[in-house]
Amino acid sequence: MPRGSKDKYTAAQKRKAAAIESSYEERGIPEDEARARAWATVNKQSGGGERAGGSGRETSAKQKTSARKDSARQAAASRRGEVHPKRPLDEQSKQELLHLARARQISGRSTMRKAELLNALKKAS
């Protein structure tokens, strides 16, 4: 099976990936990135393709349940505007940096540019 082939995925997994992808695209995320995120989510939740020969058949039901819960928690946190903890400051938007600056009580944050927010947050760490 060539890399990137979706032959080992069930129809339900393909539908789920398509729904997730369209959701990301509605939010303005580029098509390629939306597709990658969608399939990463499906893989995280199911362990891979669930048809014969797919790695998802080897993943236990307990692991799949745990992965779905983790994914749902992260999605809810994103909707609340919380920042993914492993994402570097340089990759975050100005709004996300302002949110962090507010949490760390950095004074003068409302008049700062993005670069200034980055410097202030790095100093506060």
Tell me the pLDDT tens digit for each residue of 43-92.
Answer: 877 777 666 666 566 677 788 788 778 888 887 877 776 766 677 888 88
Same domain, 74 and 34: yes
Quick check: 84 and 74 in contact, CB under 8 A? yes
pTM of the model: 0.46
What tokens were used for 71?
Answer: 């994914």
pLDDT on residue 45: 77
| Structural domain boundaries enclosing 66 | 11-80
Q: Is residue 5 situated within a structural domain?
A: no
- Please name the residue ranges forming H helices in the chain: 11-26, 31-46, 61-79, 94-103, 114-124
The first and second tokens of residue 10, run together, are 């069930």
Q: Are residues 71 and 117 in the same domain?
A: no
- CA 50, distance to chain mean position in Å, is 22
Same domain membership, residue 68 and residue 39:
yes
Q: Measure the CA–CA gap between 10 and 16, rounded to whole angstroms.
A: 10
Task: Assess if residue 3 is contained within a domain.
Answer: no
